[in-house]
Amino acid sequence: MPVGPVIDGVALPDVPLEVVRVGKHNKVPAIAGVNHDEGTAFVMALKALVPNVPVIPTEKSVEDTIYYVLQDEAAYVYGEENLGFELAAEMVRDIIFHCPTMALAEALSDQGVDSYVYGFEMNPLFPKMIANINTGDIPGMNFGNFTSFSDKPVSKKNPDVFELYMGHPPRRRGDAYHKVSDKFSCMWANMASGGSPLDGGAVCPAEPDLAEWGEYMGSDENPLGQYLHIGKKTTDSVVPR
């Protein structure tokens, strides 16, 4: 992305990941997470970042973008399963969100910090084109049980940002979204209270059944790291990455 932290040598002495890798950070337990479709909202911005990319990327422009951003050593892993918009969204998702999150979680673990990682895929959160968009998990963990979502239809003629983000689809109390939100908010409250998403001592009025959630590098069976998959059917699973 064309923006980032300002490394001034005082308030921020180095790239944040490098600060963690050398142990010059506040060593407290941490949660890091990613959404399945983090990149969808940013595909339209590729035109401003990569030379000669149209607003709606073509197969050729996406291929050029991948090599422009990732270079040869990483571009080959994407193959030809998805093309066009989907492929561009996957590339943006991985290089900007998923890979840096995993690197941070591993660096925190290497410094002896308890780090927990989650992957969020709650379908259908939004229509297929944007799906589990960047920030789409926030309403669920914001102690609101998705009640900020509205039944008000989105205006196609003059939509505003709030309507686009909060207007679809409708939520009803007690549905799967609320149940996941109860777990989300309880685990976050535990983390803030006692440094553990499961044993932090928080009072959770909904009394949700919390999933097993191991530390990112805490399993010998998953030496590359493990994360909690949060969604309708797989909330209670710890999945190797």
CA 161/CA 181 separation, integer angstroms: 22
Considering only CA atoms, which of 101, 118, 117, 127 is closest in space to residue 40? 127
Give the amino acid at 223: P
- The mean-pLDDT minimum among 34-48, 109-123, 226-240 falls in 226-240
Confidence band, pLDDT 50/70/90 cuts, at residue 231? confident
187/117 Cα distance (integer angstroms): 12
User: Lowest-confidence range among 66-80, 201-215, 223-237?
Assistant: 66-80
Q: How far apart are CA 124 and CA 105, in angstroms?
A: 28
Quickly tell me which residue has 């799967």 as its tokens.
176
Q: Is residue 215 very low, low, confident or very high in pLDDT (cuts 50, 70, 90)?
A: very high
**Listed residue (78, 81, 97, 83) closest to 39, CA to CA:** 97
In this predicted structure, the answer to whether residue 195 has a pLDDT above a threshold of 60 is: yes
Range among 137-146, 151-160, 186-195 with highest mean pLDDT value: 186-195
Task: Say which residue, 156 or 49, is predicted with more confidence.
Answer: 49
Tell which wins on pLDDT, 32 or 146: 32
Q: Could you report the per-residue pLDDT of 88-106, keeping only the tens digit for each?
A: 888 888 888 999 999 999 9
Q: How far apart are CA 150 and CA 225, in angstroms?
A: 37
The pLDDT score that the predictor gives to residue 236 is 46
Peptide bond connecting 51 to the previous residue in cis, omega within 30 degrees of 0: no
**Does residue 144 register a pLDDT over 90?**
no
Instruction: Count Cβ neighbours within 10 Å for each residue of 121-151 and write b for 16 or more, e otherwise.
Output: bbeebbeeebbbbbebbebbbeeebbeebee
229: β partners: 119, 237
Look at residue 43 in the predicted model and tell me its pLDDT.
80
Is residue 19 within 8 A of residue 25, CB to CB? The reply is yes
Q: How long a stretch of residues is the chain?
A: 241
Q: What is the pLDDT of the chain when averaged over all its residues?
A: 79
Which pLDDT does position 90 carry in this prediction?
A: 85
> What is residue 42's predicted lDDT score, i.e. its pLDDT?
82
Model's pTM, two decimal places? 0.79
For residue 37, the 8-state DSSP code is T
- How sure is the predictor about 136, in pLDDT bands with cuts at 50, 70 and 90? confident
More confident residue, 87 or 35: 35
